[in-house]
């Protein structure tokens, strides 16, 4: 078995491309080898700013050989009446590259066919790789590609060298007007190279020891963390590590060296978030805090070289950061002097979406919607919720947010507190954009939850009214995330809010908008879209799809109750009686669906006991009547586990009914009565789940 190395040397690759490039190289090469029937152990990939390397371990020297039977024309077409081969037979043999004498007759279910046996495989792996690698490199996907020089070839950044070796031999090919070879290049400053690789097995050690490059992203990340922690500890603090920034920084360097710098302690008067964002955004640097979480006047940056004089480099970084922090201090002081009413007036000139008006219009709608929501779930904060909704977007015209848009909401909450707003209002504004994603927390305060839901519902109602409905992967206004956010807030904050009423209320607050869709049509589409997002959310939590569909088939509007019913149904589905219950109650639900809604017959569930002809009918009706008060009480208590447990009391009577009663009898009155008896059962259980959607 052999080792294959492919290294694509480039100018500096953006950090955001590197993780995807690693995965693509592994996936595409693995798939190619499997399709080519070449045995290998594993494929490993490493990407730095200047190279993308992929290693294939224990790769076979040749393809596995196999024999394939290839059918041709039917025998009746391949030979004439005298048994002589026709042009069809000769053409088939020629196409397959065999002598017609080597063909044979193949019996199949469809008749007798002319066929040949061909040996497949046996090609040298080096030849296969030499053919595939140029295509692989050319077809690697990037968000943006570029051209360079006079050639038409495109890549994320200009390709400067290509190394391709199978053990000690070069795998020869040409790509981007470059010939593959055995030379690699090192760090631009510390070991420029070139360095010849005698054997693929020497590649890793050459890169690490001679080229002064840390090839592995994981090792670069670990080195940064280790050195940073040591420096911070010496300064009496700890680094505030941010995963996304770590991912970016390790992708900017091949030779990471941590450097701890200082800044004037007077800058600590700035809000923590503003200071950290300034360091992280402009300087790709990390903050430092003490054991209590207070910021210290230090920062950690990562160099791509080992400097001769670290102090000189440190002073340079400090000078640049100071200029950034001075800007931040100016923004902060300017914003503190600004009046909230002035900001609100400016919002009338900031467009939300052109057909939907300004951000000023949006905040007025959000304010009213917050008040409506608060009266239902938290009347004690109605005034604060209304105020928070009105000023929640004011920081969009603040200087600090103009420079760092990632601070919107965060700075709004800080400014609200500094300008005398209540704690409820300030926290609600700070949390308005939560949850920011599937793994982001929901707002911790009720005020934040209300503003977040109102904001998202306003966006959803407006976009759906304009027909801006997400299709496929396209979702420019993050409407899926809006739905998910509303659902998570309702569930995690235990709110009893009708999603349909929320969207209708949001739609009603728009004035003077020319809608593309009829208002009711837009709401119908929005409610369906929300229900689908809710289904996706539940399945992503690990619930079986059929259980989710059964619960949402009963009701998707009361989101919290749907979540509670799903938990109860999931637990019930693991019990012994579930399969039999599904058989029984699914049968009832299917009969009512087919004989009721699908047949255009309205079944009210009201039955006449005087029309009962069978003891099983009477027992069924009595069981329903006995269970009804228990069901009502448990429903009021929202004890869904106990409600599903009630099915065990009902099932024997329902089973006996099906065993002894002909529902679709000839007497139309009796038949309708029996259908209504079943309908009474289905209507009751249909509040828990749509049993027709379930399977054993």
Residue 315 above 90 pLDDT? yes
Segment among 285-289, 361-365, 571-575 with least mean pLDDT: 571-575
Listed in sequence order, the residues at least 6 apart from 307 whose beta carbon sits closer than 8 Å to its beta carbon are 257, 313
Neighbours of 120 (CB within 10 A): 13
DSSP letters for 233-270: HHTT-EE---HHHHHHHHTT-SS-EEEEEE--GGGGGS
Q: What is the pLDDT of residue 279?
A: 94
Average pLDDT over residues 552-568: 93
352-401 residue pLDDT tens? 998 999 999 999 999 999 999 999 999 999 999 999 999 999 999 999 99
Predicted confidence band of residue 599 (pLDDT cuts 50, 70, 90): low
* Better pLDDT: 394 or 657: 394
H/E element, 18: helix 15-35
Q: What is the pLDDT of residue 649?
A: 85
Distance CA 21, CA 159 (A): 14
Residue 597 above 70 pLDDT? no
φ, ψ (nearest 5 deg) of residue 76: -65, -20
Q: What is the pLDDT of residue 606?
A: 81
By three-state DSSP, how is residue 297 classified?
strand
Residue 626 above 80 pLDDT? yes
Residue 533 above 80 pLDDT? yes
Residue 28 above 70 pLDDT? yes
Q: What is the pLDDT of residue 578?
A: 86
- The terminus-to-terminus CA distance of the chain in angstroms comes to 49
Q: Are 78 and 72 in contact (CB under 8 A)?
A: yes
Distance CA 286, CA 406 (A): 16
Average pLDDT, the chain: 92
Neighbours of 544 (CB within 10 A): 16
Bridge partners, residue 42, by sequence: 57
Average pLDDT over residues 522-537: 96
Six token digits for residue 424: 């409820």
Number of helices (H) and strands (E) in the chain: give both, helices first. 26, 18
Q: What is the pLDDT of residue 396?
A: 97
Average pLDDT over residues 127-148: 95
Q: What is the pLDDT of residue 139?
A: 95
Predicted confidence band of residue 193 (pLDDT cuts 50, 70, 90): confident
Q: What is the pLDDT of residue 598?
A: 62
Residue 112 above 80 pLDDT? yes
Domains of the chain as residue ranges with CATH: 2-62+124-210 (3.30.70), 66-120 (no CATH), 217-337 (no CATH), 342-469+479-542 (1.10.3210), 563-693 (1.10.730.10)
Segment among 163-177, 327-341, 620-634, 680-694 with least mean pLDDT: 680-694
CA distances from 434 to 110, 382, 397, 459 (A): 63, 20, 20, 15
Average pLDDT over residues 141-155: 93
Residue 545 above 90 pLDDT? yes
Instruction: Return the DSSP state at 100.
Output: G
Six token digits for residue 617: 């009918």
Predicted confidence band of residue 600 (pLDDT cuts 50, 70, 90): low
Q: What is the pLDDT of residue 201?
A: 95
Six token digits for residue 561: 């109750």
Segment among 30-34, 198-202, 305-309, 646-650 with least mean pLDDT: 646-650
Residue 601 above 80 pLDDT? no
């Amino acid at each position: 078995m052999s080792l294959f190395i492919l290294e694509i040397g480039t100018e500096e690759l953006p950090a955001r491309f590197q993780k995807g490039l690693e995965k693509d190289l592994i996936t595409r090469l693995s798939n190619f080898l499997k399709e080519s029937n070449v045995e290998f152990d594993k494929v490993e990939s490493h990407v730095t700013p200047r190279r993308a390397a992929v290693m294939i371990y224990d790769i076979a020297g040749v393809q596995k050989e196999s024999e394939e039977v290839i059918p041709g024309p039917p025998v009746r077409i391949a030979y004439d009446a005298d048994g002589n081969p026709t042009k069809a037979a000769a053409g088939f043999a020629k196409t397959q590259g065999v002598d017609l004498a080597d063909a044979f007759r193949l019996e199949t279910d469809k008749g007798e066919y002319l066929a040949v046996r061909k040996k497949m495989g046996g090609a040298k792996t080096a030849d296969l790789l030499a053919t595939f690698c140029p295509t692989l490199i050319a077809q690697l996907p990037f968000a943006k590609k570029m051209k360079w020089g006079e050639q038409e070839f495109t890549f994320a950044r200009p390709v400067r060298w290509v190394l391709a070796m199978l053990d000690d031999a070069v795998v020869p090919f040409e790509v981007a007007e470059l010939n593959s070879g055995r030379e690699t290049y090192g760090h631009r400053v510390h070991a420029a190279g070139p360095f010849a690789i005698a054997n693929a097995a020497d590649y890793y050690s050459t890169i690490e020891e001679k080229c002064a490059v840390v090839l592995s992203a994981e090792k670069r990340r670990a080195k940064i963390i280790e050195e940073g922690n040591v420096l911070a500890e010496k300064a009496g603090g700890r680094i505030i590590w941010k995963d996304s920034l770590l991912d970016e920084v390790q992708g900017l360097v091949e030779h990471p060296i941590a450097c701890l710098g200082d800044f004037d302690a007077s800058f600590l008067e700035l809000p923590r978030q503003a200071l950290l964002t300034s360091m992280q955004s402009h300087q790709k640097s990390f903050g430092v805090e003490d054991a209590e979480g207070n910021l210290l006047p230090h920062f950690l940056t990562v160099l791509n070289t080992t400097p001769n004089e670290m102090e000189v480099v440190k002073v340079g970084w400090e000078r640049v950061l100071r200029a950034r922090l001075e800007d931040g201090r100016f923004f902060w002081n300017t914003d503190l002097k600004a009046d909230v009413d002035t900001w609100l007036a400016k919002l009338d000139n900031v467009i939300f979406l052109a057909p939907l008006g300004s951000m000023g219009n949006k905040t007025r709608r959000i304010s009213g919607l917050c008040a409506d929501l608060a009266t239902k779930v938290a009347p004690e904060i109605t005034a604060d919720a209304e105020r928070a909704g009105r000023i929640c977007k004011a920081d969009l015209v603040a200087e600090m947010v103009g420079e760092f848009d990632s601070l919107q909401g965060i700075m709004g909450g800080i400014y609200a507190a500094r300008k005398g707003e209540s704690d409820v209002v300030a926290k609600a504004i700070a949390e308005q954009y939560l949850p920011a994603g599937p793994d982001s927390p929901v707002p911790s305060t009720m005020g934040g939850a209300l503003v977040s839901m109102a904001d998202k519902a306003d966006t959803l109602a407006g976009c759906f009214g304009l027909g801006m409905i997400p299709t496929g992967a396209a979702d420019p206004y993050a409407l899926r995330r809006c739905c998910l956010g509303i659902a998570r807030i309702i569930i995690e904050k235990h709110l009893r809010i009708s999603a349909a009423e929320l969207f209708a209320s949001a739609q009603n607050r728009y004035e003077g908008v020319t809608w593309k869709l009829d208002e009711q049509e837009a709401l119908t589409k929005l409610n369906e879209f929300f229900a689908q997002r809710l289904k996706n959310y539940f399945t992503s939590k690990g619930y079986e799809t059929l259980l989710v569909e059964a619960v949402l088939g009963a009701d998707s509007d009361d989101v919290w109750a749907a979540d509670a019913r799903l938990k109860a149904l999931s637990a019930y589905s693991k019990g012994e009686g579930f399969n039999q219950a599904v058989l029984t109650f699914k049968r009832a639900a299917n009969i009512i669906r087919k004989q009721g809604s699908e047949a255009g017959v309205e079944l009210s569930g009201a039955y006449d006991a005087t029309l009962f002809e069978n003891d099983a009918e009477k027992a069924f009706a009595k069981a329903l009547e006995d269970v009804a008060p228990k069901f009502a009480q448990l429903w009021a208590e929202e004890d869904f586990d106990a409600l599903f447990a009630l099915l065990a009391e009902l099932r024997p009577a329902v089973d006996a009914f099906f065993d002894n009663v002909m529902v679709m009898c000839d007497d139309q009155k009796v038949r309708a009565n029996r259908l209504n008896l079943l309908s009474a059962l289905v209507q009751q259980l249909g509040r828990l789940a749509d049993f027709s959607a379930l399977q054993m």
